[in-house]
Amino acid sequence: MDKDLMIQEQAVLEDHSEANEHASKVLNRVIAKSINSSKEFLTFSGKADSTALFDLCMKLKHRRDDFILALQREVVSLGADPATEQNFAGWVHSGWLKARLAVEPDSDFVIVSEVIREEESMRMALEDALKSGDVPLHMRSALESEMAFSANLRNTMEDIKAKLKPEDYVDVHGK
């Protein structure tokens, strides 16, 4: 067998290594969660009362879409098929979210509250992926950066939520 063919054989076998399979599964879970997030930001933008909140939600949707695309490219480079759909929990939550936005009178307050929940969920998904030890080394910084962004966004939304809180709002969590 000539040298070029042996190199190609090695590359094919590396693409199907157990480490690549684990990494692909972990990244695909993050992709599915990110797809949930992107779809929620699109829903939020469609229900926002404020132009500024609409713009923010659309920017966040596009940011998540870019993140999804980068992760999908990485999964392909690992020799696997990337996730292209949200997970079941995201699908269920999306239905609940649409119902909540339809019945609650202050859409912007609800949106900000849901962004907080979404970003906490996103941060946990990224943290789980990083803790797994299966994320390729060169992708760790992208996941860490998105996790830091998510934490900052959550904190910003907490500040906005406190300022938008309707007078008749009762927080069952005591916050």
- Which residues make Cβ contacts (< 8 Å) with residue 42, sequence separation at least 6? 57, 58, 61
Query: Rounded CA gap, 151 and 125, in Å?
Result: 12
- Which residues make Cβ contacts (< 8 Å) with residue 119, sequence separation at least 6? 150, 151, 153, 154, 157
pLDDT in tens, 112-158: 999 999 999 999 999 999 999 999 999 999 999 999 999 999 999 99
> How many residues comprise the chain?
175
- Distance from the Cα of residue 36 to its chain's centroid: 6
Query: Rounded CA gap, 19 and 5, in Å?
Result: 23
Q: Calculate ∠ Cα 31-29-131, nearest 5°.
A: 115
Query: Rounded CA gap, 59 and 148, in Å?
Result: 17
Phi/psi for 6 (5° steps) reads -65, -40
What is the pLDDT, as a whole number, of residue 100? Answer: 72
Whether the model clears a pTM of 0.85, i.e. scores above it, the answer is no
Q: Which amino acid is at 42?
A: L
pLDDT in tens, 25-84: 999 999 999 999 999 999 999 889 999 999 999 999 999 999 999 999 999 999 899 998
- Distance from the Cα of residue 111 to its chain's centroid: 16
